[in-house]
Amino acid sequence: MKISILIPVNNYDIVALVHSMKDGMSKVPEFCEILIGDDGSSADYREKYKQLEGEGVKLVVSEKNIGRAAIRNKLALEAVGDYLLFIDADAMLPGTAEAYLRKWLPYIEKHEVICGGVLYHSIPPDNPDLMLRWKFGRYREQKKASERNRHPHASFSTFNFMIKKSVIIKIRFNEELKQYGHEDTLLGYQLKKAGISIFHIDNGLMHEGLESNREFLNKTKLGIENLSLLYDKVTDKKTFSKLVKILRTYNRLEALKLTGILSGIFIRYRERMEIKLDSAKVSLWLFTFYKLSMFCTYRAIHVRKQILPVL
């Protein structure tokens, strides 16, 4: 059994991460290679990645930025492993690489898809401009495997997961998704439709790449817009909705004919909500309402376009 470690990256310093994984790989022989997927990075960063090549580390380059889905598919095709461990570039090991890598081994022949989870530092960042991303991650994204396994497909994340190569070659990441947001949701939906189970374990990596409040709000906007477009494209809206809490809430509001009211609130109070969210004292309840009202607004726009379902 061979396992490849795949790290897609765009203009991010992964030197420490690769060196750590390389050290762990030397002690856990089932892991046979590290593939770095350079997705259109600048010349300075590409030079750093090139210096990491050799002794089980290979650089796979895309001269232009082809997107998160396409670079992952490219890495999967290049990999020699029977299983592929995908790690986001802004991840950090909470302990030793050897312990992290060994923890996957008891599960790989029992499950085709395994998620390790995401971790956040328990102490809030000193910089208040990072508070929204940290608080959302710490209290919404970081969950124990026992909780994630209650709804395994809905809890699927591409941040730190292992998948059988034959599965990802067949299903693949959807390369039509160029914009940020909900790639995880779509792949979780596709795996569920294909009847492929997902198993979650407690083998998390630290998420180090915290965006500023404004950057995270901008990414949230892209993600919400993408989710609305995906909802139009999927053929099985019932199954897709079960995977996303905001969709389940939206459908209930739509049945009560309340989505128009939330759209109006978003249009009128968007700036005020964003000012409150861009602060040291972040309300996750307000952030949830902000996303829901934004989704109602995008649905009102996209429904008029009559997008045909294709997924």
Q: Is the same domain home to 204 and 239? A: no
Structural domain including 296 reads: 215-303
- Tell whether 309 is covered by a domain: no
Based on the fold, state whether residues 181 and 228 are members of the same structural domain. no
Write the DSSP assignment of 41-82 as a string of letters: --HHHHHHHHTT-BTTEEEEEESS---HHHHHHHHHHH---S
Query: Is residue 70 one of the residues assigned to a domain?
Result: yes
Q: Which two tokens stand for residue 187?
A: 């792949």
Task: Give the other-Cβ count within 10 Å of 147's Cβ.
Answer: 11
**What pLDDT tens digit does each residue of the chain (311 aa) get?**
899 999 999 999 999 999 999 999 999 999 999 999 999 999 999 999 999 999 899 999 999 988 888 999 999 999 999 999 999 999 999 999 999 999 999 999 899 999 999 999 999 999 999 999 999 999 999 999 999 999 999 999 999 999 999 999 999 998 876 666 788 899 999 999 999 999 999 999 999 999 999 999 999 999 999 999 889 888 999 999 999 999 999 999 999 999 999 999 999 999 999 999 999 889 999 999 999 999 999 998 877 666 545 44
For position 307, what pLDDT does the model report? 53
Which pTM does this prediction carry?
0.93
Distance of CA 170 to the CA centre of its chain: 20
Instruction: Out of 161, 195, 210, pick the residue that ends a domain.
Output: 210
Number of structural domains in the chain? 2
CA dist., res. 129 & res. 124, Å (int):
11
Residues 231 and 268 in one domain: yes
Pick the last residue of a domain from 172, 195, 210: 210
pLDDT at 310: 47
Residue 14: give its domain's CATH number: 3.90.550.10
Task: Count CB atoms within 10 A of the CB of residue 206.
Answer: 16
Assess whether 37 and 112 both reside in one domain. yes
Residue 94 token pair: 């909470």
Residue 159 vs residues 26, 68, 69, 252, 280: alpha-carbon distances, Å: 23, 12, 13, 30, 26
